[in-house]
Amino acid sequence: MDIMELGAIGEMVGGIAVIGSLVYLAIQVGHGTRSTRSVSYQAAVSSVAEWTRCVGADAELAVLFHDGSRDPSLLTREQRIQYVYLMASTVRNFENIYYQFDSGALDPSVWDAWRERIHGL
């Protein structure tokens, strides 16, 4: 075997190694994307769950949110102020969920379910 043949074999082995590295890298990126999506979803769900827990644990606040969502004009001035803060918190949670979707960190099928909830509210 002469130097030219050895060089050709070396190039072929190098090419295979590069392809193998690219496949490995693609697999790792896929795992990273799934991990990022999982963490983003968990954070969004935790935030909404915490909000829901706080409102649901306080009967007066739960009634205020329910009544305000149905007809805010029935609320007293103080209740309307409190309702505005509740809605601001709700909107921030939904804004975060949309941002996670828009940045690619949240799977589109997950966003579709959240979008329906947002529209319902």
For the chain, the domains span 3-120
Among 12, 16, 34, CA closest to 24: 16
Q: Cβ contacts of residue 121 below 8 Å, gap of 6+?
A: 69, 90
Six token digits for residue 29: 């990126």
Among 95, 68, 93, CA closest to 79: 68
3-class DSSP state of 106: coil
Give tens-digit pLDDT for 101-116. 898 888 888 889 889 9
- pTM for this entry: 0.62
CA-to-CA distance for 96 and 64, rounded, in angstroms?
24
Q: Which residue has the tokens 């649901």?
A: 56
Instruction: Indicate the pLDDT class of residue 51, thresholds 50, 70 and 90.
Output: confident
